[in-house]
């Protein structure tokens, strides 16, 4: 499409003023305004529909961004997230104007506390910026409001650009802080692998959040900064922050213990969030965890398809085998067993588990219950009898919050106790307690893990179509995907941290159906190929190709969505 000037845009808007809403379709194209390019990619069909999709492209000479803040990778992502938040906040404050439906709505899907590769705003190595946002084109009834549209496109949008990412609109010190903190977080995570650690929590980190629906740091005099136990203390040199001291979480089986409301779950939640990076001021900037750590919980009622849960649950009453277990309505124990096996299939390095969100009968069977219910009448092999094998034989660590079962002291490599939000390393004391007070419990694992079956998804069972539409995918709130005729409930997948991630996962399932699923590839093969496509093509491989409301996710969240698709069918090849 040829590039047209601002005068032509104003003339067009004047000419369609008062016409039917469909006249806005003529806006599609490229327009030069104040030195940057405005692209109208999609025009909504109705003032009540989702707002139109627009982009701004500005070269490095117009943004003036220093090259060292635009280095591809961590620095560019940190800079982009900072600029996107600024644009989104300014857009929220922008005067909405008048009109029907969503007229004048101006918004961007910007990152929250997390720092992720995001399609809302991108920074090029040359300092150029591409910004993607939505605008509700104004209407009176279903008639074009040309003059109001001209105010938005020729005044409000350029003002937003000038105030946020064009030269003079950004604060270099703030951008530099975002770029450097993100680079340091990546360097810190790389250091974990080099030192053989699972996670790191910096001295002075602020772990508590404001609420379950507000991920910003809790503030006030009662907030207790993290204090490193001396026995787990280490210092890691970072490229920008220099030496950072904190607690290293070793591999193996780590217990987080302590009384109720003393911070056990808060620490675990920080570790599960540590698979991603966080913005300056979040309090968890230098709380990082290996990328392959997966939070596991029980999810009553979820669907399970062809999963080998036999390492944890043997033959069920009625002779039902569990090497290829399927159910539309899993119990707490079967859902937790399936979640672990699915995480292993997807390549998990560590399991993060909180007893509060676990099935009790899956986690432990104490000596008294062993005596009351003989082993031959109990199909469940509790997690306590597999946790050491997972690490010793499969190199999968576990971090477990436990406050009610001392039996786990027998299998722990490291024990951390929380007292009034302060951690202490008490491994030797825990071992002494275990030796002084044996429970008499008998291990119940019937044998080693069997070879994991190969699961091959049937392409036709991953169907995003609905009625006459080949692709009908949308979100329900912040925790479910409507995928064709099915709903995928991801409310139990706690490491999905944003709506933009959820939307990207939904589009990745569509991509998998269209370009990857062939009836030959196994689940890990499918995950490998989808992630490889994203590595090669970026987030524009998803959706319409220029959407601004997508964020990068891990293979583990994509696997979780695929495995919770109720229509999923798999061919299971036992080994």
Which domains, from first to last, does the chain contain?
Answer: 3-170 (no CATH), 205-452 (3.40.50), 454-573 (no CATH)
Burial (0-12, 13-18, 19+ Cβ within 10 Å), 451: exposed
Q: Please state, in angstroms and rounded to a whole number, the distance separating the CA atoms of residues 399 and 406.
A: 15
Q: Please state, in angstroms and rounded to a whole number, the distance separating the CA atoms of residues 442 and 93.
A: 63
- Residues of the chain where predicted confidence (pLDDT) is lower than 70: none
Helix, strand, coil percentages (3-state) for the chain, rounded to 5, are 35, 25, 40
Strand arrangement of the beta sheet that strand 473-476 belongs to: 473-476, 480-483, 486-489
What b/e sequence results for 19-49 when a residue is b if at least 16 CB atoms lie within 10 Å of its CB, and e otherwise?
eebebbeebebebebeebbbbbbbbbeebee
Classify strands 129-135 and 293-296 as parallel, antiparallel or unpaired.
Answer: unpaired
The reported pLDDT for the residue numbered 95 is 73
In angstroms, how far is the first alpha carbon of the chain from the final one?
56
The reported pLDDT for the residue numbered 306 is 97
Q: Please state, in angstroms and rounded to a whole number, the distance separating the CA atoms of residues 447 and 88.
A: 55
Q: Find, among 406, 359, 364, 396, the residue nearest to 255 by Cα.
A: 406
Residue 29 φ then ψ, to 5°: 145, -160
CA 403 to chain centre: 28
Q: Are 75 and 150 in contact (CB under 8 A)?
A: no
Which residue carries 């910026």 as its tokens? 129
- With H, G, I as helix, E, B as strand and everything else as coil, classify residue 535: helix
- The residues near 464 (Cβ < 8 Å, ≥ 6 apart) are 470, 471, 472, 473, 483, 484, 509, 510, 513
Q: Are 257 and 280 in contact (CB under 8 A)?
A: no
The reported pLDDT for the residue numbered 242 is 98
Strands (E), 402-485: 414-419, 422-425, 454-457, 473-476, 480-483
Which residue carries 């997230």 as its tokens? 81
The reported pLDDT for the residue numbered 478 is 86
Q: Are 318 and 262 in contact (CB under 8 A)?
A: no
Q: DSSP letters of 446-459?
A: -SSPPPPPEEEE-G
Q: Are 75 and 187 in contact (CB under 8 A)?
A: no
- The residues near 428 (Cβ < 8 Å, ≥ 6 apart) are none
- Our CA angle for 75, 80, 86, nearest 5°, is 135
Q: Find, among 135, 137, 134, 161, the residue nearest to 149 by Cα.
A: 137
The reported pLDDT for the residue numbered 426 is 97
**How long is the chain?**
575
The radius of gyration computed from the CA coordinates of the chain, to the nearest angstrom, equals 26
- Our CA angle for 130, 238, 184, nearest 5°, is 25
Q: Please state, in angstroms and rounded to a whole number, the distance separating the CA atoms of residues 27 and 14.
A: 12
**In terms of pTM, does the model score above 0.75?**
yes
CB atoms closer than 10 angstroms to residue 361: 15
Which residue carries 């604060």 as its tokens? 171
Taking the C-alpha atoms of 295, 300, 303 and 305 in order, what is their torsion angle to the nearest 10 degrees?
Answer: 70
The reported pLDDT for the residue numbered 98 is 79
The reported pLDDT for the residue numbered 253 is 98
What the block records as the tokens of 132 is 């993607």
CB atoms closer than 10 angstroms to residue 95: 10
Q: Please state, in angstroms and rounded to a whole number, the distance separating the CA atoms of residues 332 and 353.
A: 14
CB atoms closer than 10 angstroms to residue 123: 29
């Amino acid at each position: 499409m040829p590039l047209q000037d601002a005068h032509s845009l104003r003339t067009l808007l004047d000419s369609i003023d008062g016409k039917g809403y469909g006249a806005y379709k003529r806006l599609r194209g490229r327009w030069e305004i104040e030195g940057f390019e405005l692209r109208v990619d999609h025009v909504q069909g109705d003032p009540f529909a989702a707002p139109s999709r627009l982009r701004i492209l500005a070269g490095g000479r117009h943004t003036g961004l220093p090259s060292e803040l635009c280095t591809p990778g961590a620095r560019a992502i940190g800079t982009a997230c900072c600029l996107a938040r600024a644009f989104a906040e300014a857009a929220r404050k922008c005067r909405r104007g008048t009109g029907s439906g969503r007229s004048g709505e101006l918004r961007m899907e910007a990152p929250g506390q997390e720092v992720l590769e995001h399609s809302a705003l991108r920074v090029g190595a040359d300092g150029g910026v591409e910004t993607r946002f939505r605008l509700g084109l104004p209407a009176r009834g279903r008639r074009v409001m040309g003059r109001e549209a001209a105010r938005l496109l020729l005044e409000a949008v350029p003002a937003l650009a000038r105030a946020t990412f064009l030269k003079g609109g950004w604060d270099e010190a703030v951008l530099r802080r975002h770029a450097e903190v993100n680079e340091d977080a990546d360097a810190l995570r790389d250091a974990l692998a080099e030192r053989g650690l699972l996670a790191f929590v910096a001295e002075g980190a602020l772990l508590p959040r404001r609420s379950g629906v507000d991920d910003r740091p809790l503030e006030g005099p009662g907030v207790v900064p993290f204090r490193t136990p001396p026995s787990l203390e280490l210092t890691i040199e970072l490229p920008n922050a220099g030496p950072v001291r904190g607690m290293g979480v070793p591999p193996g089986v780590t217990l987080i213990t302590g009384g109720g409301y003393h911070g056990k779950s808060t620490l675990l939640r920080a570790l599960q969030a540590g698979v991603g990076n966080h913005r300056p001021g979040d309090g968890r900037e230098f709380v990082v965890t290996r990328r392959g750590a997966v939070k596991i919980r029980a999810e009553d009622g979820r669907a399970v398809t062809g999963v080998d849960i036999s390492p944890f649950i043997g033959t069920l009453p009625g002779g039902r085998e569990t090497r290829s277990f399927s159910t539309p309505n899993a119990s707490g124990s079967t859902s937790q067993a399936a979640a672990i096996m699915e995480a292993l299939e997807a390549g998990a390095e560590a399991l993060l588990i909180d007893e509060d969100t676990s099935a009790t009968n899956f986690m432990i069977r104490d000596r008294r219950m062993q005596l009351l219910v003989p082993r031959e009448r109990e199909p469940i092999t509790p997690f306590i009898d597999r946790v050491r094998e997972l690490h010793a034989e499969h190199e999968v660590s576990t971090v477990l919050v436990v406050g009610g079962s001392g039996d786990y002291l027998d299998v722990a490599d490291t024990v951390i106790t929380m007292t009034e939000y302060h951690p202490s390393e008490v491994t030797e004391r825990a071992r002494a307690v275990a030796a002084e007070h044996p429970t008499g419990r008998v291990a119940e694992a019937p044998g080693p893990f069997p070879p994991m079956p190969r699961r091959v998804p049937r392409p036709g069972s991953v169907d995003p179509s609905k009625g006459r539409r080949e692709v009908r995918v949308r979100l329900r709130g912040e925790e479910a995907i409507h995928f064709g005729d099915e709903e995928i409930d991801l409310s139990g997948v706690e490491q999905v941290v944003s709506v933009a991630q959820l939307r990207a996962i939904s589009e990745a399932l569509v991509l998998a159906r269209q370009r990857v699923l062939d009836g030959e590839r196994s689940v890990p093969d499918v995950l490998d190929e989808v992630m490889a496509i994203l590595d090669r093509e970026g987030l524009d491989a998803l959706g319409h190709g220029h959407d601004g409301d997508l964020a990068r996710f891990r293979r583990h969240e994509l696997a979780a969505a695929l495995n919770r698709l109720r229509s999923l069918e798999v061919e299971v090849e036992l080994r």
